[in-house]
Chain A
Amino acid sequence: MENPNPNPNACGVMEGSLPGKCAGMAFPYIPMQENSAQRYDQTQALAAGTLFPGLNLPFFRAVKSKMNCPNNALCELMALGFTINELGLYLDTHQNDKEALALYLDYVKLAKEGRARYESMYGPLQQTEVTAAGYTWLNDPWPWEVTEGGKQ
């Protein structure tokens, strides 16, 4: 085999160059998000569609678009639920990030309180939440009919 341009600093035969390092070829590389990345608060996260400013890459025609979610029990719960969801995906690929895990547990606790607050005002989130008012699971509105906090 010939080596047409020998270069002592080059990567190995089976490697190509990534920024600052060599890596095996014929394999897709996405950089790992680093631990302790900058974060939004939960309401900003819901509005942006991500907890992480570093991953917020909006389409140019939608940059000015604004979330329409008033400061009520449903929106609070949506923001907390979303942040838990987003941190959960992060932890799936960063299970040793202890700071993120602590934050996750904080949000899970806040969401438990948020669920109780929402259910006391608007009714059950899950079918098993039967209250003194009886079997209110069937009560309108269902989520696709909701405009805000129960109004149709």
Chain B
Amino acid sequence: MFVYEKRLQYPIKIKNTNPKLAALIISQYGGPDGELGASLRYLSQRFSMPYPELKGLLTDIGTEELGHLEMIGAIVHQLTRNLTDEQIKTAGFDAYFVDRTAGVYPTAASGFPYSAASMACKGDLIADLTEDLAAEQKARVTYDNILRLSDDPDVNDVIKFLRQREVVHFQRFGEGLRLAKDRMAEKNNVYFTNPSFDH
């Protein structure tokens, strides 16, 4: 089960309203490589994982991603506080505003609502962990792109932190694959077929 802790993982204190930037950063809330997809991907994949270190890793990283989802929501909220009539007409935010006002909705910046089609849960540890390595890289690239587009230091400080977490998660998933490979080799599963079925 899950218990809510009433704090963020990392401090978020954004001084300036910036709806245009909010309309870009919302992609890490509900976009194809966003934190909602990340947490759902890992928390779903863990059910079919055969080894304890992989169940643990997916549970723990999936839980951290839920904290990141909250952080992205906090950034979007703080960037859209106290909007003036002029600010709601900001090009790039006006289309979001007409549908969602200043609500935080899981959507890609390009307008496509959150879709589970952007993640996978294949039920095979090699396929799923390799997907996770790619997912961490795709999220890292999205954060790179946000850093290319944003010049707000209050936002960039938080994005830098979230980006670095993708790097660490990539490393841990890679280590998880290594440990899984050793376990499969112990069972003479040299072709690395799904150990839940074949070995």
Contact = CB atoms under 8 A, between A and B. Distances in A.
Contacts of A67: 10-11, 157, 161
A123 B160 CA distance: 29
16 contacts: A27-B177, A48-B164, A49-B161, A49-B164, A59-B143, A62-B160, A65-B156, A67-B11, A68-B157, A74-B11, A78-B8, A85-B9, A86-B168, A93-B53, A93-B179, A143-B70
Interface of B: 3-13, 53, 56-57, 60-61, 64, 70, 73-74, 77-78, 126, 130, 133, 143-144, 147-148, 153-154, 156-157, 159-165, 167-179, 181, 190, 192
Contacts of B157: 65-68
Contacts, number: 151
A99 B188 CA distance: 32
Tell me if A's interface is mostly helix, strand, loop or mixed.
loop
Given A29-B178, A30-B175, A59-B144, 18 more contacts: A24-B181, A30-B177, A58-B160, A59-B143, A61-B148, A62-B147, A62-B159, A67-B10, A67-B11, A78-B7, A89-B61, A92-B57, A93-B176, A126-B3, A146-B13, A147-B13, A148-B11, A148-B13
A29 B179 CA distance: 11
Interface string A90-104: 101111000000000
Given A27-B192, A30-B177, A62-B156, A95 B53 contact: yes
A82 B164 contact: no
B53 A50 contact: no
A14 B5 CA distance: 50
A144 B167 CA distance: 25
Interface string A32-72: 11000000000000101110100111110110011111000
